[in-house]
Amino acid sequence: MAREIHLDGGEITILKSIGLSGTQIFGKLLLDRIGQLSTTELLLTLDGLLSLGYVLSNKVNVRTREDVECAFFRVNPAYSKDLRDAVNPGRRRTRTREPRARR
């Protein structure tokens, strides 16, 4: 069952910077990839993604820029397909087959 996920621009930027494949990214590299976001916007958006469970981290509290630099981040594999559809809404997957009818 697909979940309907709605993301804003900052969340899409962070998810694209982390990558939707599920591999880990170091916090310093994440900060280098995100240039246009302010520190407060980055921290609030990242905290929202962590609290929803869309992004996983090795640190429990990510409250400052230094915490982000020392942490590893990755997209939660349970949400990766739904997040991929939310990041690219024009490329939504359509069902090619009808579900089988139970007899």
Instruction: Give the model confidence (pLDDT) of 63-96 as tens digits.
Output: 999 999 999 999 999 999 899 988 887 765 555 6
Alpha-helical runs (H) found in the chain: 9-18, 27-33, 39-52, 65-70, 80-87
Instruction: List the one residue out of 52, 48, 57 whose CA is nearest residue 18.
Output: 57
Instruction: Give the model confidence (pLDDT) of 4-54 as tens digits.
Output: 888 998 999 999 999 998 899 999 999 999 988 899 999 999 999 999 999
pLDDT of residue 89: 73
pLDDT of residue 103: 74
Sequence letter at residue 83: L
Cα(92)–Cα(89) distance, integer angstroms: 6
Question: Which H/E stretch holds residue 76?
Answer: none
Between 102 and 24, the more confident residue is: 24
CB-CB contact of 85 with 4 (8 Å)? no
Query: Domains of the chain, with CATH numbers?
Result: 9-87 (1.10.10.10)
Place of tokens 């579900």: 99
